[in-house]
């Protein structure tokens, strides 16, 4: 048992040396400033070991006890070095206990220096785009959607062009004949009988007009062809004696070239004839389809309109229901006014042609009546046709007089008849007329040019009414004022257009 205190003393000395080594290593890691001593010492009792327990599981007095034992052993072995040796041994034991429990931690990341620039957060991409670019983008994609919708609609119309034109022509004819059905029903005629009388009489009159034109052309074609040949001979003689120095050989060469061109293009002429037969079949099909649609629009127009309203979404149904009668009134006024204006043009120009002794005055007057349904362009074409016939058959003076007659009648029509008969309800700007006629002719040929302007007039009426209706609805949604200012700020209703009954309504 005498050797046990010596062994304990040696153990305490070794632990003291180990503690000194760990302290020197920590000092080397932290640098000369000595920062971070608290981190190198390890957690105290209040952090990792709140109860003061030793990391190895013992009590905090274990190290002190070991130190005390080592002091006793060392004092006994060395002859009693005194209380100073005991204190040093006790301190060594305590340091050994702390060194055994401490664990070195890696150094922390240093804070950025004070002179480092502040980095701001990236802005929202939406806020980074300029306002003008955002507005242009919003308008651009909406225009693309509208353009795509119009393109698809045009493709669909081109695929069923015959059906669309036939139904549109049926609408125009119904607008012309529906007032007659209304008058007959007011006089007590049943709906079916009134529809039958109006339908049969209307199409019989239109058929007689077409037959009369064809008959007059066939009756006068020989006379006109002879006069045209005489006019060509006169033109040839004038060219021979004109200051242009045209020779007989050059005129014969031109005539020979025309004959050769006709002979070389015989196949094309034959195919054009076959296409003409196809066109005739399509025209007959379109006429029959228009007659069928007109009959049912006259008889069941109100039911068809009510069924169409059910396809409109409920929030927009009230506005569309109000725009429909106004659109029908505009279409009826346009068709009636155009018929009256065209009839006046045909009568006055036909009378002028008759007194100037122009051949086929009556057929030319009928052509003027039919072409009057194509605004602006139709008057120019029919007037030019009358001038050419007069120039070829009667000479330059008669042609000049026909020009004067046509221009005078058209000026009276544009400045007096149309404003008085059509009124402001169907007035469309001339630029809109020209563009609509051009677009209609590109889409549907002559039929498209005929129906383009009335469709634009109807669209103008519908858009104007819906705009006024939306403004009135918005004003009604706002709470009205009270007191004396109520009358001054009350919403003003939109201008009222006298609505006409939808097709086939007929007073009941």
% of the chain surpassing 70 pLDDT: 68
Q: Which two tokens stand for residue 326?
A: 């106004």
Contact at 8 Å (CB) between 465 and 494? yes
Radius of gyration of the chain (CA): 53
- Position 429 scores a pLDDT of 76
| pLDDT tens digits for range 266-293 | 555 555 555 656 777 888 888 899 899 9
Q: How would residue 386 be classed by pLDDT, with cut points 50, 70 and 90?
A: confident
Provide φ and ψ at 49, rounded to 5°.
Answer: -125, 85
Angular region, 506: left φ>0, alpha ψ -120 to 50, beta rest:
left
pLDDT band of residue 96 (cuts 50, 70, 90) is very low
What is the percent of the chain with per-residue pLDDT over 90, rounded to a whole number?
5
Is residue 32 over pLDDT 60?
Answer: no
488 pLDDT tier (thresholds 50, 70, 90): low
Mean pLDDT value across residues 45-50: 41
Choose the weakest-confidence range: 102-111, 128-137, 387-396, 423-432: 102-111
Least confident interval from 160-174, 208-222, 259-273: 259-273
Q: Is the pLDDT of residue 357 over 80?
A: yes
Q: Evaluate whether 497 touches 327 at the Cβ level (below 8 Å).
A: no
Interval 54-73 mean pLDDT: 40
- pLDDT-based confidence at residue 53 (cuts at 50, 70, 90): very low
Do residues 219 and 211 make contact, with C-beta atoms less than 8 angstroms apart?
A: no
Provide the pLDDT confidence category of residue 69 given band limits of 50, 70 and 90: very low
Identify the helix (H) or strand (E) that includes residue 65.
helix 61-78
* Most confident of the following: 42-51, 86-95, 110-119, 150-159: 150-159
Question: 194, 506 in Cβ contact below 8 A?
Answer: yes
What does the pLDDT look like over 302-351, one tens digit per residue?
889 889 888 888 888 888 888 888 888 888 888 888 888 888 888 888 88
pTM: 0.58
Instruction: State residue 145's pLDDT score.
Output: 93
**76 has a pLDDT exceeding 80:** no
Confirm if 326 and 468 have CB atoms less than 8 A apart. Answer: no
> Is residue 182 predicted with pLDDT exceeding 60?
yes
- When pLDDT is cut at 50, 70 and 90, the band that residue 87 belongs to is very low
Please provide residue 32's backbone torsions phi and psi, each rounded to the nearest 5 degrees.
-75, -20
pLDDT digit string, tens, across residues 387-443: 888 887 777 788 889 889 888 888 887 777 777 776 665 677 778 878 888 888 787
């Amino acid at each position: 048992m005498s050797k046990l205190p010596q062994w304990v003393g040696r153990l305490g000395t070794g632990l003291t040396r180990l503690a000194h080594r760990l302290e020197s290593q920590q000092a080397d890691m932290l640098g000369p400033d000595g920062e971070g001593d608290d981190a190198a010492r390890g957690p105290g009792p209040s952090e990792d070991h709140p109860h003061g327990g030793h990391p190895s599981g013992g009590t905090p007095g274990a190290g002190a006890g070991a130190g005390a034992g080592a002091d006793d052993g060392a004092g006994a072995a060395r002859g009693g070095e005194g209380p100073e040796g005991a204190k040093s041994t006790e301190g060594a034991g305590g340091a050994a206990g702390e060194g055994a429990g401490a664990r070195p931690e890696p150094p922390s990341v240093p804070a950025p220096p004070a002179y480092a620039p502040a980095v701001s957060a990236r802005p929202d991409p939406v806020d980074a785009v300029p306002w003008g670019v955002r507005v242009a983008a919003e308008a651009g994609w909406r225009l693309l959607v509208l353009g795509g919708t119009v393109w698809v609609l045009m493709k669909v119309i081109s695929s069923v062009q015959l059906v669309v034109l036939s139904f549109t022509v049926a609408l125009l004819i119904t607008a012309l004949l529906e007032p007659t059905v209304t008058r007959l029903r007011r006089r007590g005629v049943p709906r079916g009988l009134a529809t039958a009388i109006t339908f049969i009489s209307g199409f019989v009159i239109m058929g007689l007009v077409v037959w009369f034109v064809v008959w007059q052309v066939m009756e006068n074609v020989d006379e006109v062809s002879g006069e045209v040949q005489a006019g060509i001979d006169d033109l040839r003689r004038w060219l021979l004696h004109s200051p242009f120095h045209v020779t007989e050989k050059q005129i014969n060469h031109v005539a020979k070239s025309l004959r050769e061109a006709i002979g070389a293009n015989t196949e094309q002429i034959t195919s054009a004839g076959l296409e003409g037969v196809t066109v005739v079949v399509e025209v007959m099909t379109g006429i029959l389809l228009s007659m069928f649609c007109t009959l049912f629009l006259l008889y069941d127009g109100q039911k068809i309109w009510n069924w169409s309203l059910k396809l409109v979404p409920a929030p927009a149904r009230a506005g569309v229901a109000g725009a429909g009668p106004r659109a029908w009134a505009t279409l009826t006024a346009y068709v009636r006014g155009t018929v009256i204006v065209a009839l006046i043009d045909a009568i006055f120009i036909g009378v002028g042609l008759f007194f100037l002794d122009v051949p086929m005055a009556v057929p030319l007057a009928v052509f003027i009546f039919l072409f009057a349904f194509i605004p602006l362009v139709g008057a120019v074409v029919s007037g030019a046709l009358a001038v050419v016939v007069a120039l070829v058959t009667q000479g330059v003076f008669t042609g000049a007089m026909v020009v004067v007659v046509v221009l005078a009648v058209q000026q009276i029509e544009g400045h007096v008849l149309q404003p008085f008969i059509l009124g402001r309800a169907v007035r469309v700007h001339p630029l809109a007329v020209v563009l609509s006629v051009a677009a209609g002719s590109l889409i549907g040929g002559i039929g498209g040019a005929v129906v383009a302007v009335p469709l634009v007039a109807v669209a103008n009426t519908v858009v104007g009414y819906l705009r006024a209706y939306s403004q009135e609805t918005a004003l009604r949604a706002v709470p009205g004022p009270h007191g004396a200012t109520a009358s001054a700020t009350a919403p003003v209703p939109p201008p009222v257009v006298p609505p006409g009954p939808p097709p086939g309504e007929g007073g009941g």
